[in-house]
Amino acid sequence: MPPPLKPFKHRRLNPPVHQTLQTIQTLLTILTPQTLLTILTPSIMIPHSDDILDILNESPRWIVRMGATVMTFILCLFLAGAWFIRYPEILKGSAVVTPDAPTIQVVAKYNGRLMHLLVPDGAMVKKGDVLAEMENLSGLEQTRQMERLLAQGRQFVQNPEREIIFPADSMPGGDFQTQIADLQQSYRMYRWLITDSYYDQKLAGIQQQLNAQRKMLAVNARRKALNEAAFHNVSTAYQTDQILLNEGLYSKSEFLKKENEYLEKQREHAGMEEYTLKNQLSITQLESEYHAILFEFESRKRDYLNQIAQTVQLMDKSLQEWKQRHLLTAPSDGKLVWLKTLAEQQHVSANDALFSVLPEQRHFLARVEIPVRGLGKAAVGQKVVLKMDDYPYQEFGTLEGQVVAMAPSENIRNYRLTVALPKGLVSSYQQPFYCKSEMAGTAEVVTQDLRLLERLFYGIRKLLM
C-alpha cells in the first residue's frame, strides 16, 4: 500500500487542482472502496482546511449593514402602520325598528265571536271608527237608535221645550232595556204633568178667590174710611153733649141717648177693624195655598227633569261601557292592518291582537339593547349599523342610524339606546325597506376609533396587570 499523501495547504484552488479532483472522481468507479479511502482521504479534506473555514466564518460587512438597514426599515414601517391604521370597536346588540308614533294594536276584550267586520284590510281610518263588533245582546243597529235617543235626551235636558221621540215599532232592548224604560216613564210623567190642567185649574181658582178678597178688602177700606169720619163726628158731638150736661144745659135722658149713639158707632168702628183683619188673613191664607200648589207643581216637574237627566247619564255611561266592551275601534288616524286572517262569526280569545293602525306620516327609529359590558365606549351621536332579519344584509344592505338617547333598561345587564334613522328605511344598497309594524334585527354601535398601536399597548398592559 502506498504511503498516505500529505494534505495540500493552498489558499485558493487553482485549475490543476480542479482537474485532479475530477480525475479522482473518475477513478472512484474503478478502485475498490478500501483503496479509495486510503489514497484519497487527504484530497477530500481539502475544503475543510483552516483557510477555507476562516473565509466561510467571516461574513462580509456590507451584508451585515444591508440586513440591519432592512430590519430597521421594516420595524419603522410596522410602527408607522400601527400608528396610522385605526379602526373602531363594535358594540353589538339586538334592535327593533318601529315608527316614532308607535303602532297601536287593537285586541279582543273577551272570548267571543266576531259578529261584524266593518273595515277592510288596508283601509284608511279615523280615530274612533268602528272596526268590528263582538258578540252581544243588543247589536250595533240598536245602539245607533240608543245614540239618537241619547242625543234627544241631552237636548231635552238643556231645553225642556224640546221633545223626545221614542220609536213605536222597534224599541232598543238588550243591554239598554231598563234605562230606556226608565227614560220613557219619566218623560211621560213629565209630559202628563205639563199638559194636565189639574194644577192650572186649582191655581186659577185660588187666584180668583184672591182677586175677590182683594176687591172686598178695597171696598172695606172705603167703608172704614166713611165709618171713621162718622165716628169722628159722633165723638165730637158726644164731647159737646158731655160739656152741656156738666153745665146743666142738657138733660140726662137726652145725654144717655147721645151716649148710646156714640157707643154704637164705636162698636161699628171696631167691627170694621175686625173685618179688615179677617179679610187680610184670608188673602194671606189663599196666597200661601197658591204658593204651596205652585211649589208642589215645580217640585214634581223638577223631580221628573232630574230623573230624566240621571237616566240620560246612566244611558250614556252604559253606552260607553258597551262600546268599550263590544266594539273594536280605531285608536288613532292611519292605515288599518289586519294582524291575522279574520272572518265574521270567527271565535277569538281575550287579548288576541286583531288589528293595528299605522300612522299616515311615519318616521322610524330603532330601539337597541346592548350589554353593559363596554357601555362606557358608547355615546350619543355615534353611528349605528342595523342589520334587519327580514332583509338579509348581504343582499339588501344595512340601515344607518345615529344614537340620540341612552337610558337604563329593565334588565340590569342591558342598556337601551334610541337610534334615529336620518335616511329612513332606505338601505346602504338604496333599497327601501317596508315595515308593517316593527322589524327585528341586530345593531352594531360604532364607537370611537383606536390606533393599532394603542390596542397593542392596552393588550400588553392587560397582560402585565
One pLDDT digit (tens) per residue for the chain, 465 residues:
444 444 444 444 444 444 555 555 555 555 455 554 455 444 444 455 566 666 556 666 767 677 778 888 888 887 777 677 766 678 888 999 987 776 778 888 888 888 888 889 888 898 888 888 888 877 777 788 888 888 888 898 888 888 888 876 655 556 777 888 888 888 889 888 888 888 888 888 888 888 888 888 787 777 777 777 777 777 777 777 777 667 766 666 676 777 777 777 777 777 777 777 888 888 888 888 888 888 988 899 899 999 989 989 888 888 888 888 888 888 888 888 888 888 888 888 888 888 888 777 667 889 999 888 877 778 888 889 999 999 999 999 999 999 998 888 777 788 889 999 988 889 998 998 887 667 899 999 888 766 766 666 766 766 776
DSSP-H helix ranges across 124-249:
140-158, 177-195, 198-247
Q: What is the C-alpha separation between 274 and 266, in angstroms, rounded?
A: 13
What domains can you pick out in the chain, each with its CATH number? 15-57 (no CATH), 91-100+362-464 (2.40.30.170), 101-129+330-361 (2.40.50.100), 137-326 (1.10.287.2610)
Contact 276, 221 (CB under 8 A): yes
**Residue 166: closest CA among 155, 152, 176:** 152
Query: Rounded to 5 degrees, what are φ and ψ at 389?
Result: -65, -35
For residues 141-180, one letter each, b for 16 or more C-beta atoms within 10 angstroms of the residue's C-beta and e for the rest, the string is: ebbebbeebbebbeebbeeeeeebeeeeeeebeebbeebb
Residues whose CB falls within 8 Å of the CB of residue 272, separated by 6 or more in sequence, listed in order: 220, 223, 224, 227
Q: What is the C-alpha separation between 463 and 460, in angstroms, rounded?
A: 5
